[in-house]
Copies of this chain bind each other. A is one copy, B any other.
Amino acid sequence: MSNIFGKVFKISTYGESHGKAIGVVIDGCPTGIEINEKDIQSELNRRKPGQSKITTQRKESDSVEVLSGVFNGKTTGSPISLYIKNKDQKSSDYDHITTVFRPSHADYTYHKKYENRDFRGGGRSSARETANWVAAGAIAKKILDDLGLEINAYVSRVGKLEMNTHYKKLNLKNTETNIVRCPDKNFANKFIEIIDEAKKNRDTVGGVISCIISGCPVGIGEPIFGKLHAELGKAMLSINAVKGFEYGSGFKGSEMYGSEHNDQFEIKEDKIKTKSNHSGGIQGGISNGEDIYFNVAFKPVSTIMKDQQSVDSENKKVTVKGKGRHDPCVVPRAVPIVEAMAANVLVDLYLQSKK
Question: A residues touching B (Cβ–Cβ < 8 Å)?
Answer: 1-5, 7-8, 10, 12-16, 19-23, 25, 27-28, 30-32, 65-69, 71-72, 74-81, 83, 101, 103-106, 108-110, 112-118, 123-125, 129, 157, 159-160, 198, 201, 203-208, 218-219, 221-227, 229-231, 233-234, 237-238, 243-251, 253-259, 261-267, 270, 272, 274, 278-280, 283-288, 295, 297-304, 306, 308-311, 315, 317, 351-355
Contact = CB atoms under 8 A, between A and B. Distances in A.
8 contacts: A4-B225, A15-B79, A21-B67, A205-B258, A243-B253, A258-B303, A259-B304, A264-B308
Contacts of A278: 104, 299
B247 A246 contact: no
Contacts of A27: 1-4, 12, 14
Closest 9 CB pairs of A and B: A106-B284, A2-B226, A244-B246, A204-B258, A109-B286, A234-B234, A14-B79, A258-B300, A230-B237
Contact of A224 (B19, B238, B285): B238
Contacts of A238: 224-225, 227, 230, 285
Contacts of A74: 116
Contact of A288 (B109, B283, B304, B306): B109
Nearest to A197: B257
A124 B249 CA distance: 24
Contacts of A112: 218-219, 286
Nearest to A353: B113
A353 B77 CA distance: 11
B15 A246 contact: no
Given A19-B68, A264-B103, A267-B315, A30 B76 contact: no
Contacts of A262: 103-104, 302, 304, 308
